[in-house]
Amino acid sequence: MPTFKKIALVAIVASTLCSVACGTTVESDGPRPPTSASMPTAGDFPIRWLATPSLDLTSSDGTFVRAIAESYYQAIMAGLNSTAPGYRRAIGTIVDYEFNPFTRVYAPHVAYFYAVPYPAAPGQTATSPDFGSVAVCADVPAHADWTKALLFFTYRRSGTAPPSSLRGHLTQPITDVFGDWKGVDNMLPNIHNSRRCDNPPITQPLTTELLPPSPGWPNSAA
């Protein structure tokens, strides 16, 4: 039975990257130890969202979830310095950042994110007008063997809401778009609830081409 808890970054890195990096030979286009000349940025990892009924990408919830999930992924790919302004506060108790998760350099790639129904479980924070919940999946064509279950979490809607209807050509926001909302709990994906990520909402194969982010973020303050 799944339980909720704060997740140390060692668990995040293991669940997201171990299937690629553990016990394998590093190829020339695969992960490499970081050097000062090869430090990646968030711009190297554009994220394209696929529309689903589980999340209105144009709403305040869409803004909050997008910014949390994208920064979470970009922190693993490029380090905490690559995350959106306000992320470390807004992530709340979803993730226990005991150290910088960035340990290896991956070639630039596009990732496709999509939301699916959040798995109900005993002890979870109930979804209500004051609380939201979302299960975010990620399909990374360049790394097809990575798990698609990215981040399942709940969050508190209190105070000023995040802005809505944000889109643009940038890979991440240039200002804090989280409002006063904060993350609450994280459900560590397991073999059972991860299956809901197995079928991305696509009508044609996803491409490895380094496409721009979608919806992306505006080149101005929210």
The model's pLDDT over 131-142, given as tens digits with 9 standing for 90+, comes to 999 999 999 999
Name the pTM for this structure: 0.80
Q: How far is CA 123 from CA 8, 134, 207, in A?
A: 20, 16, 39
- Give the residue, 137 or 95, on which the prediction is more confident: 137
Q: What are phi and psi of 24, to 5 degrees?
A: -120, 160
Is 23 among the domain residues? no
The three-point CA angle 8-12-148 to 5° equals 150
In a domain, 210, yes or no: no
- Confidence category of residue 189, pLDDT binned at 50, 70, 90: low
pLDDT for 37 beyond 70:
no
Domain span at 49:
7-16+42-197
The pLDDT value recorded for residue 30 is 41
The answer to whether residue 205 sits within a structural domain is no
Reported as a pLDDT band with limits 50, 70 and 90, residue 29 is very low
Kindly report which listed range (16-30, 77-91, 109-123) carries the lowest average pLDDT score: 16-30
Q: pLDDT at position 93, please?
A: 83
In this structure, is residue 30 part of a structural domain?
Answer: no
pLDDT at 59 over 80: yes
List the alpha helices (DSSP H) in 22-93. 60-78, 87-90
Does 73 reside within a domain? Answer: yes
* Residue, of 97 and 23, whose pLDDT is higher: 97
Tell which wins on pLDDT, 19 or 130. 130
Q: Does a structural domain hold residue 95?
A: yes
Q: How many domains does the chain have?
A: 1
Rg (CA), the chain: 16
Alpha-carbon distance of 171 to 39, in angstroms, equals 17
Q: Is residue 121 part of a domain?
A: yes
Q: What is the pLDDT of residue 20?
A: 33
pLDDT score, position 98: 62
Q: Is residue 120 over pLDDT 70? A: no
- Determine, yes or no, domain membership for 55: yes
Is the predicted pLDDT of residue 15 greater than 90, yes or no? no
